[in-house]
Chains A and B, each alone.
Chain A
C-alpha cells in the first residue's frame, strides 16, 4: 500500500515538473520576452555609422524602457560583413540576437559567392536610409547636373568620378546616371568616401559621388558645390540643392538600414521587436539622431520590409551584373 502511494506521489511530482517545464518552453511569450540580455550584432567598429545606428537604437530603446533587458552591441567584423551574417545565421531559432542590415547584406553574398543570404533572416523593420549626391570642387566649371552630363557626353570617360568600391551606393548612383543620360564616366575607386572627397577638392577627380554627411561640411565652407541629390525631394541637410529629378534626370536612390533577426524565431518575438522599433521611430530622441547621422526616415514595418528586400535584391543583382561586378 505504502509503496504504491510513494510511486503515485513520485509520478505526480514528475508530471507536475514536466508540466511546468513544458509551460516554460511552450512559447517565448509565455514567460515575459525578453527575459535575458539581447545582442545587437554589427560588423563595424565604434565610430562607424552602422555601429552608431545600433548604439543609438539600443540606448534609446532601453532608456525609454521600451525594452527592459540590456541590449549589448557586439562587433563581428570581417569578411566584409560576412562574419556578422554567418554568426547570426548560426543563431537560428534564438530570439536574442538582432542584426543590422544594409545593402552589403544583399551585395556581399553576391560578390563573394556566399551561401548565406538575407533569406535566412527574419526581417523586422527598416529604420533609416542615406541619400546620395554628386558634388564638384567649388571653382569647377561644372555647375549643374546638366553641365556634368554635357561634359561627359563629349567623350567617353573624359569626366572622372570619385567613389569607393564598385557595388557601393556611390558607384550605383554613378551607374544610374550613366544609364539615364547615356554617358560614361571614368570611375575612380578610393578606399573610403573621405578619400574620394579629398580627391575632388584637390582637383584630382572631376566629380565625386557620396553621401550628404561626407560633403555637407565642405558645402557650408564653400569649398564644394553639390550638383544634385538622388531623391524625390530636396535633402534637409543640403539646403537649396536641387534634386536630380528637378534637373531632368529621373534618378532616385537611397541605401537602407534596418534590423533583422535570425531565421525561424518565434512569432511573438518578431511582434515584440516590430512594436519596439515602431515606437522607436516615433521617439523624439531617435529623430534627433537622424540629424546627427545625416540620415532620413525610411521606416518600413515587418510586412513591408520583406518584399522591399526582395525587390532590392533583384535590383542590386541586375545592376551589379550590368556593371560587370558579378556574372
Chain B
C-alpha cells in the first residue's frame, strides 16, 4: 500500500490552488450533471483552455472533478422530473421518478449521493492499487471481444423495463439504424446523409436522449396542465431514507461499484452501459422484481453507484497506459499534452506527483460532492414545487442550449425537437424509448467491432474460435438467448397459456 506517496499526494492536493480547482471542478460537474443536455465533456472542453495556464496536476484535478461530479448531479433531474440530466442517469429515471411521485424524492436523491460516494471512493482505491495490472489486462480485448460484448449487451439489455418483447426489439433496431447515420469507419463514406452536411457526421445521442425522455416529459406536463404538481408537504424526515431503504441499498451499491469499475476500463460509452447492466442485475437479484419500474430503491442505488465507479474506472487506462478510452479521458490527455507531458505507461513512474495529487484530490472531491449534494437534497426536492408553467419552459430552454452547445449547430436542436415529438408519440402508443437509446448507444461499438473483426478474420470465421475470450462471450450470448426462449416456452407450458406480446423476456 503506497502510503507515503499517497500522503505526498494529499499534501499537494491540500494546497489552496488545488483545493479550489477540486471544488470548482466538482461544483461545475454537478451543475452540468443537473442541467439536462449539457454533459461533462462539454464543460471539460470549455474549461480546457483555462487549464493551459495552470500547473498540470491542478488542470487534471479540475477536469477530473467535472467528470465524476457530473455523475453525482445527473440523478437530480432524473429523479425529480423524469428527465435525465446526463446520459448516464437515464436509468435512474425509471425508479427514481416513481419514488419521487410517492414522496420519496429526498430518499432517492440521498441514496444516489451516498451510493455515488461509496462507489467513487472504492473505485479510487482500485485505481490507486491496481491501475497498471488492470490496464494491461484490458489490452487483451480486441475487436472480436468487443463485438461479442456489444452483441451480448444488445440482447441482454434491450428489455430493461420489461415491456413487450416485440416492441422493445423494434425500437432497438430503430436505434441501431439511427446509429448508422454518418461516416463509415473504413471508407469514411457518409451514409444516410442525403447530402445534408449535418447528417454527414451522424446523429448525436444527447439530443435524442433529451428529446425522447426530457422534451416528451415536458409535452406530457403541458398536456396534463397544472394537475401534475400535487405536492404533499415534504417533512424533514421524508427528505432522508428510512433505515429499511438504506439496508436495501447496501448490496446494490456494492454490486454497482463492482460492476461499474471494470466496465469503465473498456472503451466506448462505459458509464452509460454500466448503468444499464447494473439495473439489469439488480432486477435479477431482487426478491421483489415486480417493484422495479415502480419505485424500487435498488434501481436507483445500483446504477448511480455504477456510473461513478465507471467514470473512475475510465481513468485507469488514462494513467496506466496513457491511452484514452472515452471522450472525457481524451480531454484530460490533451491537457497533459499541452503541458509537454506525453501520456504513456511511464506517467505514474515519471510524474508520481501528478498521479498521486490527482488521486488524493479525487478522494477529497468525492467527500466535497457528498457534502454538496446531501444538504442540497432538500433544496432540489422543493424544486418540484415550482409550478409547471415556470419549470417546464426553463427545462426546455436548458435542453435547447445543451443540444446547441454540442456542436454549435442548430441541427442538434432540430433533433431534440423531432425526438421530443417522437418520444411523446411513443409514450402514447406504448412503445418503450429505452431500447432505442440502447441501440443508438451500442450501435457504433457493435458496428465498428463487427467490421474490424470481419476484416481481421479475412472471411474465415474460425478466427473467432481462435480467441478464447471471444468464444466465451459468444457462448454466453447463445446461452442467454436459449434461456430466454426456453424460459418462455417453459412458462407457456406451465401456465398453459398462449404466447402474448406482453410476455416478458427473462
Interface residues of A (CB under 8 A from B): 45-48, 52, 55, 75-80, 82-83, 86, 111-112, 157, 160, 165-167, 186-191, 194-195, 197-199, 201-205, 213, 216-218, 220-221, 223, 291-294, 325
Contacts and interface: CB of A to CB of B under 8 A. Distances in A.
Given A78-B200, A79-B197, A82-B200, A216 B407 contact: no
B441 to A, nearest CB: 15
Interface residues on B, range: 35 or more
Interface in B138-173: 139-143
Contacts, number: 137
Contacts of A294: 342
A47 B48 contact: yes
Given A213-B342, A217-B346, A221-B346, A189 B451 contact: yes
B197 A82 contact: yes
B452 interface: yes
A293 B341 CA distance: 10
Interface in B414-455: 444, 448, 451-452, 455
Contact of B142 (A186, A199, A216): A199
B48 A78 contact: no
30 contacts: A46-B46, A46-B48, A46-B331, A47-B334, A47-B335, A75-B408, A77-B408, A79-B197, A80-B183, A82-B200, A83-B409, A86-B197, A166-B186, A186-B458, A187-B455, A188-B456, A189-B455, A190-B452, A198-B317, A198-B321, A198-B325, A203-B139, A213-B337, A217-B342, A217-B345, A217-B346, A217-B347, A218-B322, A221-B344, A294-B342
B49 interface: yes
A189 B186 contact: yes
B183 A157 contact: no
B465 interface: no
Contacts of B190: 80, 112
B334 A52 contact: yes
Contact of B345 (A55, A166, A213, A221): A221
A191 to B, nearest CB: 6
Given A198-B323, A202-B139, A111 B189 contact: yes
Nearest to A215: B344
B334 A48 contact: yes
Contacts of A186: 455-456, 458
B29 interface: no
Interface of B: 45-46, 48-49, 139-143, 183, 185-190, 197-198, 200-201, 267, 317, 321-325, 330-331, 334-335, 337-340, 342-347, 407-409, 444, 448, 451-452, 455-456, 458
Given A198-B323, A202-B141, A221-B344, A292 B200 contact: no
Contacts of A166: 186-188
Given A165-B188, A217-B344, A218-B322, A292 B139 contact: no
A160 B451 CA distance: 14
Contact of A194 (B46, B49, B323, B331): B323
Given A47-B48, A204-B142, 10 more contacts: A47-B334, A76-B408, A77-B409, A111-B188, A167-B188, A188-B456, A191-B185, A198-B139, A216-B344, A221-B346
A167 B187 CA distance: 8
Contacts of A189: 185-186, 451-452, 455
Q: Lowest 8 A-B CB distances belong to which pairs?
A: A217-B344, A204-B142, A47-B334, A202-B139, A221-B345, A79-B197, A165-B188, A189-B186
A316 to B, nearest CB: 13
A46 B45 contact: yes
A165 B187 CA distance: 6
